């Protein structure tokens, strides 16, 4: 079983995140960066699937991002992934989700995979569409939003969260899976894992290496454009009152004043 | 006038409120045509409402091949419509499925996609709220057809009655689109309340609720207001309330008219999912809780006495 796990480096959600004034892209340089939280669950799930699939299984980490994204790759390797591919090129800067999916699908096309696993969303863009985008481009089934994954031979079943419960969805490999965070409890990298990660194979690709057309990626060719942005004024702190035994009535009075009652 | 496609978000044929919001918005961009995709016979329940909110035409595609597989069949049908009808824009609900279908249509038609719009101008410029609501962005699509997913509660639905013309679509789903089969749909837990994403009022409970049993008073308050029930990640992770009710980063993003947070401290991860709510009420015994920074009205007190008293007041005042 060959598994590719997609991981993304994102600004820490605790940090103040900004768009740059010049090209209106995310300011990645001035903030602390971490592995996108849900991607840790994707790595963990890959490790668990590999373990039950047994001998001959391999996990490849795939990341698109600037040079420093290698820190995130190392973390995935330290957790137990076997090798990594880092797609890194200035020309990719400012790519929209559609272009990113094109670039990742192009690299995936050169890898041998049964499963592609990613997190259900990134904490920076929060689009939750990478799994369907990749499935569409690769022409393979989409198993997105999985809270449980069961692999038996060439059949994959997931439980997908819905608004009223869950659906059971089934597909044959190869397939693209996205996972939500209740799927497992990601392990912490051990000291041994961290040391071993430094020696694991890491291939760095430019877009030319990967066969990605330069006019299909990057800010200038993005399929959507940010016209302007503004920092939302912080909400005006409202009225705060202390319960003096009449708290229920006080809230009800407020709701009535706002025409909710 | 140019045609605008509105992809109908429905539950077993009954359109969700967000569909009427999309039709209302679509009228500013052009002439709305609804696209109803579902299982055989489901559209019958939808046509009336779609006409009432201004759809001139309804394209109906009904097939077990649409209902039985994940997103790909719907994307094929919508992409074919985009190619044949050349609409100025296609509006989807910003639900999980709405975004996924839109993403596939974008690839198939070489179009740009603007997701999670909280507002849409007549020229197709979308407003998006990012970084947990801290920054507002105005964006446009620069390639192909304007594809936009719009968050529920972005605009009030306004009726504009029309005679609808129904056009049946011939549904031929390719084998390639039948890769992910829905084997079973399981309904869990709490029925009978409005859906979290669609609801005009949401009442949420968090760590302060203390236990699964504690959600009884949260549900009672929600029911007195006809509201949906939400929960913070602390509450869903503890197993006190089902995960599909989780509001926040990695959970659902809601933008209701009224959000009542009880026993929720307001960590940034929770705020990311509710910060664009129009009116926020917080009930928490810790006066320092960050949720009070957002609240239009905050009550510092014990939710176990305040919430039942509030429910009683609401029931009394609503008569």
Per residue in B163-183, pLDDT (tens digit) is: 899 999 999 999 999 999 999
> Measured on CA atoms in the order A214, A218, A220, A221, is the torsion positive or negative?
positive
Residue pair B194/B252 in contact by the 8 Å Cβ criterion: no
* C-alpha dist (Å) from residue A219 to A57, A62, A69, B120, B145: 37, 22, 19, 23, 19
Instruction: Verify whether the Cβ–Cβ distance B188 to A175 is below 8 Å.
Output: no
Asked if pLDDT for residue A251 goes beyond 80, the answer is: yes
pTM reported for the whole predicted model: 0.88
Structure tokens at A2: 């060959």
Instruction: Give the separation between CA A94 and CA A108, rounded to whole angstroms.
Output: 21
Structure tokens at B95: 């639900």
- The 10 Å CB-count burial string (b at 16+, else e) for B258-288 is bbbbbbbbbbbbbbbbbbbbebbbbbbeeee
Query: Kind and range of the H or E element at B113?
Result: strand B113-120
Share the mean pLDDT of chain A: 93
Instruction: Verify whether the Cβ–Cβ distance A235 to B293 is below 8 Å.
Output: yes
The most confident of the ranges A20-24, B125-129, B144-148, B192-196 is B144-148
Closest chain A CA to residue B288: A240
CA distance B56 to chain A (A): 29
B133 or A40: which leads in pLDDT: A40
B185 shares contact with chain A (CB less than 8 Å)? yes
Pick the residue of A145, A155, A218, A223 with the most B CBs within 10 A to test the interface with B by mutation.
Answer: A223
- The 10 Å CB-count burial string (b at 16+, else e) for B72-102 is bbbbbbbbbbbeeeebbbbbbbbbbbbbbbb
Instruction: Give the separation between CA B157 and CA B23, rounded to whole angstroms.
Output: 8
Task: Give the full edge-to-edge strand order of the sheet including A165-172.
Answer: A202-205, A83-87, A58-64, A2-6, A115-119, A175-179, A142-152, A155-161, A165-172, B181-187
pLDDT at res. B244:
86
> Measured on CA atoms in the order B196, B202, B207, B209, is the torsion positive or negative?
negative
Residue pair B58/B49 in contact by the 8 Å Cβ criterion: no
The residue count for chain B: 319
Q: How confident is the model at residue A26 (pLDDT cuts 50, 70, 90)?
A: confident
Interface of B with A in 188-217 (CB under 8 A): 188-189, 191, 195-197, 201
Neighbours of A144 (CB within 10 A): 28
Asked if pLDDT for residue B130 goes beyond 90, the answer is: no
Instruction: Verify whether the Cβ–Cβ distance A180 to B250 is below 8 Å.
Output: yes
Percent of chain B with pLDDT over 90: 82
Instruction: Verify whether the Cβ–Cβ distance B299 to A243 is below 8 Å.
Output: yes
Tell the residue number behind the tokens 């649409």, with chain if given.
B66
Residue pair B202/B277 in contact by the 8 Å Cβ criterion: yes
Q: How confident is the model at residue A107 (pLDDT cuts 50, 70, 90)?
A: very high
Residue pair A103/A207 in contact by the 8 Å Cβ criterion: yes
Instruction: Verify whether the Cβ–Cβ distance A240 to B280 is below 8 Å.
Output: no
Instruction: Verify whether the Cβ–Cβ distance B302 to A243 is below 8 Å.
Output: yes
Structure tokens at A75: 């973390």
A120 shares contact with chain B (CB less than 8 Å)? yes
Asked if pLDDT for residue B191 goes beyond 70, the answer is: no
Asked if pLDDT for residue A32 goes beyond 90, the answer is: no
B21 shares contact with chain A (CB less than 8 Å)? no
Instruction: Give the separation between CA A202 and CA A85, rounded to whole angstroms.
Output: 6
Structure tokens at A174: 């190869």
Tell the residue number behind the tokens 């978000």, with chain if given.
B9
Residue pair B203/B260 in contact by the 8 Å Cβ criterion: yes
Instruction: Verify whether the Cβ–Cβ distance A37 to B250 is below 8 Å.
Output: yes
Among residues B48, B44, B45, B61, which one has the least CA distance to residue B7?
B61
Closest chain B CA to residue A37: B250
Interface of A with B in 188-207 (CB under 8 A): none
């Amino acid at each position: 079983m060959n598994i590719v796990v997609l991981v993304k480096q994102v600004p820490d959600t605790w940090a103040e995140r900004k768009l740059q004034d010049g090209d209106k892209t995310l300011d990645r340089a001035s903030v602390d960066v971490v592995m996108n939280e849900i991607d840790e669950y994707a790595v963990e799930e890959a490790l668990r699937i590999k373990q039950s699939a047994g001998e001959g299984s391999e996990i490849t980490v795939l990341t698109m991002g600037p040079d420093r994204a290698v820190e995130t790759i190392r973390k995935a390797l330290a957790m137990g992934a076997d090798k990594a591919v880092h797609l890194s090129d200035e020309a990719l800067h400012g790519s929209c989700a559609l272009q990113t999916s094109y670039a990742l699908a192009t690299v995936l096309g050169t890898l041998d995979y049964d499963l592609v696993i990613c997190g259900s969303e990134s904490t920076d863009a929060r689009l939750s569409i990478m799994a369907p985008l990749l499935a569409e481009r690769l022409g393979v089934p989409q198993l997105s939003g999985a809270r449980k994954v069961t692999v038996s031979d060439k059949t994959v079943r997931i439980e997908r969260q819905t608004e009223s419960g869950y659906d059971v969805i089934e597909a044959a490999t190869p397939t693209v899976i996205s996972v939500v965070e209740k799927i497992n409890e990601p392990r912490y990298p051990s000291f041994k894992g961290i040391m071993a990660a430094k020696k694991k194979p890491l291939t760095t690709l430019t877009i030319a290496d990967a066969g990605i057309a330069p006019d299909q990626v990057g800010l200038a060719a993005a399929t959507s454009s940010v016209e302007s942005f503004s920092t939302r004024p912080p909400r005006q702190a409202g009225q705060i009152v202390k319960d003096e035994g009449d708290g229920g009535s006080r809230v009800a009075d407020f709701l009535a004043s706002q025409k909710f009652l | 006038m140019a045609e605008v496609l509105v992809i109908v978000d429905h539950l077993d044929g009954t359109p969700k409120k967000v569909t009427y919001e999309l039709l209302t918005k679509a009228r500013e961009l052009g002439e709305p045509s609804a696209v109803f995709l579902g299982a055989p016979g489901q559209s019958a329940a939808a046509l009336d409402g779609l006409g009432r909110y201004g759809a001139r035409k309804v394209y109906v595609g009904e097939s077990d091949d649409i209902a039985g597989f994940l997103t790909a069949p719907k994307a094929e049908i919508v992409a074919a419509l985009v190619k044949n009808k050349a609409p100025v824009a296609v509006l989807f609900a910003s639900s999980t499925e709405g975004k996924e279908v839109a993403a596939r249509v974008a690839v198939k038609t070489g179009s740009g996609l603007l997701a999670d719009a909280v507002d849409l101008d007549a020229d197709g410029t979308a407003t998006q709220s990012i970084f947990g609501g801290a920054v507002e962005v105005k964006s446009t699509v620069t390639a192909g057809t304007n594809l936009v997913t719009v968050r529920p509660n972005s605009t009030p639905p306004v009726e504009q009655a029309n005679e609808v013309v129904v056009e049946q679509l011939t549904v031929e789903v390719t084998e390639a689109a039948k890769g992910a089969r829905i084997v079973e749909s399981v309904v869990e837990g709490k029925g009978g309340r409005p859906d979290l994403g669609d609801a005009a009022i949401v009442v949420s409970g968090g760590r302060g609720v203390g236990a699964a049993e504690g959600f009884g008073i949260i549900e009672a308050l929600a029911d007195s207001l006809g509201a949906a029930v939400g929960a913070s990640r602390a509450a869903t992770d503890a197993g006190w309330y089902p995960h599909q009710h989780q509001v926040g980063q990695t959970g659902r993003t809601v933008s209701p008219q009224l959000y009542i947070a009880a026993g929720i401290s307001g960590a940034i991860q929770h705020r990311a999912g509710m910060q664009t709510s129009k009116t926020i009420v917080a009930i928490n015994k810790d006066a320092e809780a960050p949720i009070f920074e957002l609240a239009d009205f905050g009550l510092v007190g014990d939710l176990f006495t305040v919430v039942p008293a509030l429910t009683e007041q609401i029931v009394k005042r609503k008569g």
